[in-house]
């Protein structure tokens, strides 16, 4: 009969614990083991109807097919802007009625810009500033401009294309 030594028991228990930890880590990056989180559904604006009176698709549905409604024009101050973090876009109004959009991802280190003030789009991570007129660098350390995004102003709605 073989005797089980104290050393064999300790090594066996340690090996089993190590195996459990390693197997837990092995599934960490596996998409099949992670819960899927759906993005929140876009909420319609209060005046939107789901169907046109004639039973066809409403103009709103057609507009949504062209782009997502980000905001109303009144939400974007003249000479300022608003950051839409979930869409990674910043919308600015350079002067009355002239709207532009840029990526909200700073070209320096990939941080999301946080604010628009005094004619610049501002990144909180390292202090980069970008001009609202064209997204070009106003102050570094960023060296590349923000990428312009396509938007459409339809009445009082601003939509991302």
For each of the domains in the chain, give its residue range(s) and CATH number, in order of start.
Answer: 67-160 (2.102.10.10)
- Matching residue, tokens 């570094």: 140
Tell me what the mean pLDDT of segment 48-77 comes to.
58
pLDDT mean over 114-125: 92
Q: What are the tens digits of pLDDT across the range 65-87?
A: 455 678 888 889 988 999 999 89
Handedness of CA 28, 29, 32, 37 (dihedral sign): positive
More reliable by pLDDT, 142 or 37: 142
Q: pTM, whole model, 2 decimals?
A: 0.58
CA distance 86 to 102: 14
Which residues on neighbouring strands pair with residue 139, listed in sequence order? 129
């Amino acid at each position: 009969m073989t005797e089980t030594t104290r050393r064999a028991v300790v090594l066996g228990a340690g090996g089993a614990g190590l195996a459990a930890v390693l197997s837990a880590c092995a599934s960490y990056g596996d998409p099949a083991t992670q819960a899927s989180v759906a993005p929140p559904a876009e909420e319609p604006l209060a005046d939107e109807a789901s169907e046109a009176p004639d039973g066809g698709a409403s103009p709103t549905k057609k507009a949504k097919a062209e782009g997502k409604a980000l905001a109303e024009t009144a939400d974007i101050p003249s000479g300022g802007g608003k950051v839409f973090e979930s869409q990674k876009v910043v919308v600015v109004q350079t002067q009355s009625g002239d709207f532009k959009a840029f990526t909200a991802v700073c070209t320096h280190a990939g941080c999301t810009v946080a604010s628009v003030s005094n004619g610049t789009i501002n990144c909180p991570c390292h202090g980069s500033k970008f001009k609202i007129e064209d997204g070009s660098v106003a102050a570094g350390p960023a060296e590349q401009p923000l990428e312009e995004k396509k938007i459409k102003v339809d009445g009082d709605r601003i939509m991302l294309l």
